[in-house]
Structure 1
Amino acid sequence: MVNYCVYQDRCHQEVEQKMRDFLLVPEAKEEILLYLMQENYLSEERFTRSYIRGKFYMKSWGRNKIRNHLKFKGVPEKLINRCFDEIDDDDYHKTITKLYQNYESKITGLQGYQKKSKTIKYLLSKGFEYEEIVEVIKEMKEGESE
């Protein structure tokens, strides 16, 4: 189990699932979990921070999608909210802008409002907040009019 945790940061749920695969007695599972936490092989906060950084900076996921996936892994909401400081607000804004421009430029054969609508749906599916998307669109329009 140490090797499993050393390979990459894991959440408690992943470690417990792996132990279920080994068919261990409950007492042994608790001992192993306790040992992993005491020796700092298993840290829910470290996992959460690493997961947030990876999914945002590597896969360009928004906060909503990251939050939902972490909840699915059994990470407490309070911890998720506390760890979102891993994402720089400027980087978040720049990512939305870049994704919006890239996606919209690939769409052909549609009216302007259809392109905008389709691009917004795409960004929502990536987990970005509607308010943030609208703000980026507004800024881009202001930039065009200057």
Structure 2
Amino acid sequence: MDNPKTNKITDEKVALAKAENYCAYQERSQQEVRNKLYEWGLWEAAVENIIILLIEGRFLNEERFAKAYAQGKFKQKGWGKIKIKQGLKLKKVPDVLIKKALLTISGDDYLKTLERLLEKKDKTITEKDTRKRQYKLQQYAFSRGYESDLVLDVLRKGVD
């Protein structure tokens, strides 16, 4: 039973029902669904047909996905806009929808989250040299996907 070929789906109706459940569980990008359909063994014509039916049935909505992804990664993981944008690009979300999704993040919340992240990180850094300490905080914020000018502004104002 471990043979991956045994769980291939050849019936388009069965695949559509399974894809609807897959999309209903959480927001998905078209590319995630497309990959899953190919994984199930469907051919290109069937995959594209099912994608269209999922969009028509409102199971799949790229803009809704992009906004949910941006909000989720920001609120749960504290990601910055650069990292969120990269994640959406990897999921082949169109640039216009990425821009719309990033606009859903409030500027005040964004700044507060960055400040909170830096304060929390600052407490874990044992480095005594101020410049090295600032550098470590800066690198940490960059790795989380925050814009350099914003990070530098927050660090200039000081992390207490």
- Fold agreement, TM-score > 0.5: yes
Q: Could you tell me which amino acid in structure 2 is paired with residue 7 of structure 1?
A: Y
Q: Residue 71 in 1 paired to residue 103 in 2?
A: no
2:125 corresponds to which of 96, 107, 113: 107
CA apart distance, 1:28:
1.6
CA apart distance, 1:4:
0.3
Q: Secondary structure at the match of 2:59?
A: coil
1:94 corresponds to which of 100, 112, 121: 112
* TM-score, length of structure 2 as denominator length: 0.84
Residue of structure 2 equivalent to 1:139: 157
Q: Could you tell me which amino acid in structure 2 is paired with residue 6 of structure 1?
A: A
Residue of structure 1 equivalent to 2:78: 60
CA distance, structure 1, for counterparts of residue 101 and residue 131 of structure 2:
36
C-alpha offsets along residues 42-91 of structure 1, whole Å, 9 cap, x if unaligned?
Answer: 00000000000000000000000010111011011121012212111000
Q: Residue 16 in 1 paired to residue 34 in 2?
A: yes
* TM-score, length of structure 1 as denominator length: 0.92
Give ranges in structure 2 of 5+ residues lacking alignment. 1-18
Identity %: 36
C-alpha offsets along residues 13-53 of structure 1, whole Å, 9 cap, x if unaligned?
Answer: 10000011111132221221111000100000000000000
Residue of structure 2 equivalent to 1:2: 20
Residue of structure 1 equivalent to 2:49: 31
Which protein has greater RCO, CA pairs closer than 8 Å, 6+ apart? 1
CA distance, structure 1, for counterparts of residue 101 and residue 114 of structure 2:
20
Q: Secondary structure at the match of 1:9?
A: coil
Q: Secondary structure at the match of 2:158?
A: helix
Give ranges in structure 1 of 5+ residues lacking alignment. none
Deviation >4 Å, runs of 4+: none
Q: Could you tell me which amino acid in structure 2 is paired with residue 71 of structure 1?
A: K
